[in-house]
Chains A and B, each alone.
Chain A
């Protein structure tokens, strides 16, 4: 039996650690949020909070969101949290910083660690 959730991510370290669970997208944080919103409209449930961590979404270029593969009735709580996350992201100014590859790696490590916190605390109905 396969996993009943997946991870939308643009973080290569997440894709490397969870190759069979990850859906790798070549986009920014907003792209991940919009893809998650699309899935939620199709009936998926958000498992981790999209604004996880205090590293702001206009600061780190990486984001990893855990969503159910289940497609049920629209989960209004999931929709509310992704919509408010999109709103938060859009009000933050574009920073235009060309980060050094080492800094990008650090952002990847933080995103992976926050994701790991979600994976170890998966609700009981989800399995890998």
Chain B
């Protein structure tokens, strides 16, 4: 499967008469976008705002971030199962408005989280302070229950991103990247001198506000399965996961899945990247046993020498991570784990809820309990009053001057477990 990704660099976003890309600027027809995003009888109103890097703007509470993409050649469309049919995606050509993002905000439940600050300390902790954000604020009709409300906000974001993505259909990309994975036997014969590496891609799948979808299917309903890596770039994996902000994977992160990107960068050089296994993180202990058994089997079936395993979330997914690690290692296949930590505000506590001596190669994305002060912003998009009850905050988090003292777990993407971030630590 071969996919060309054409990146159209977006340096700025502005409202305009027509939705189009001109000289690196994404112009957005606000009325049209509101209309498209609001095409659902369960939506009462939609408002659209712009938030650019460096502006004194806070977006709260953030539900999802989606990248505008469009299919220009090949089968299927972006976000299959939601915005198009269920044809297999991941081949042909896809255009991306690189540097633009749709951010959805909506008060689905009374306890809230998900902050994007475009400036100041908070901006350093979220990768989405560097994107030109089109913020879609969705107000549902009265009396809509929580389950439907989540669906309504999620789909409004997908429609908005699809609409904006169309602006890239006729544009000439600034760069084109090509990714290719051959069918398994062919692929494994291709670089016989290199270690064969697969990617175990764990997805949060527990229930309301904790779900992830593959071609529109709720992933807690599947058993682990194979995926061509390029499918992710076309939105085959979509997020319905709203908590915790720091270590959930927004749809944007799946579309740019950084582990896949990095494995492709080494493909044919230092490794032979065979493909992905997607697996779930369900609530019952038996589901965890079943899925980790199947994951280990599929890794063996691929003939991998090593795997990268990424986690989504904290707490019970630590059990899935440890089971996956143990069972794959016991087959003689080496693992590298990516997780984050809840090590207490002083960083001195046990980081994970489970552990294993076989997990001897582990990458951390940071301590979600780390406390920061987010300065007051001039503009707040969304619902500023919810800062009083944000997850990761406590009684008194919101200061009289408008600043917020809180743990970084409230910040969207602060400890992203796919490593989608600008912060890093290096040994010098």
Contacts and interface: CB of A to CB of B under 8 A. Distances in A.
A1 interface: no
Interface string A41-58: 000001111111111110
Given A54-B244, A54-B313, A97-B395, A122 B284 contact: yes
A105 B354 CA distance: 30
Contact of A121 (B282, B314, B354): B282
Given A49-B284, A110-B207, A85 B353 contact: yes
A59 interface: yes
Nearest to B108: A106
Contact of A117 (B109, B283, B313, B394): B283
A99 B316 contact: no
B285 A46 contact: yes
Interface string B311-323: 0011110110000
B403 interface: no
A106 B146 contact: yes
Interface stretch (A15-23, A26-34, A87-95): A87-95
Contacts of B146: 106, 109-110
Contacts of A35: none
Nearest to A45: B285
Contacts of B342: 88, 91-92
Interface residues of B, number: 43
B315 A54 contact: yes
B319 A49 contact: yes
A87 B350 contact: yes
A109 B319 CA distance: 24
A48 B319 CA distance: 12
Q: Mostly helix, strand, loop or mixed at chain B's interface?
A: loop
B206 interface: yes
Contacts of B285: 46-49, 77-78, 81
A103 interface: yes
A110 B353 contact: no
B283 A52 contact: yes
Interface in A36-90: 46-57, 59-60, 66, 77-78, 81, 84-85, 87-88
Contact of A100 (B110, B319, B394): B110
B394 A49 contact: no
Nearest to B354: A84
B118 interface: no
A39 to B, nearest CB: 15
B320 to A, nearest CB: 9
Contact of B395 (A48, A60, A96, A116): A96
Nearest to B112: A103
B110 A106 contact: yes
B349 interface: yes
A56 B391 CA distance: 8
Given A51-B316, A54-B314, A121-B284, A109 B395 contact: no
A123 B284 contact: yes
Interface in B330-366: 342, 344-345, 349-350, 353-354
A109 B149 CA distance: 13
B110 A53 contact: no
A59 to B, nearest CB: 5
A1 to B, nearest CB: 21
B284 A47 contact: yes
A113 B349 CA distance: 30
B391 to A, nearest CB: 5
A63 B313 CA distance: 18
A114 B211 CA distance: 11
B395 A106 contact: no
A104 B353 CA distance: 26
Contact of B283 (A49, A59, A88, A123): A49
B133 interface: no
Interface of A: 46-57, 59-60, 66, 77-78, 81, 84-85, 87-88, 91-100, 102-107, 109-110, 113-114, 116-118, 121-123
The 10 closest A-B pairs by CB, nearest first: A103-B110, A51-B315, A49-B316, A106-B109, A113-B208, A113-B207, A96-B395, A54-B243, A123-B286, A95-B394
Given A47-B285, A99-B389, 6 more contacts: A49-B288, A53-B207, A87-B350, A91-B342, A109-B109, A118-B284
Interface of B: 109-111, 146-147, 204, 206-210, 220, 241, 243-244, 247-248, 282-288, 313-316, 318-319, 342, 344-345, 349-350, 353-354, 388-389, 391, 393-395
6 contacts: A50-B316, A97-B388, A97-B395, A107-B110, A109-B146, A123-B286
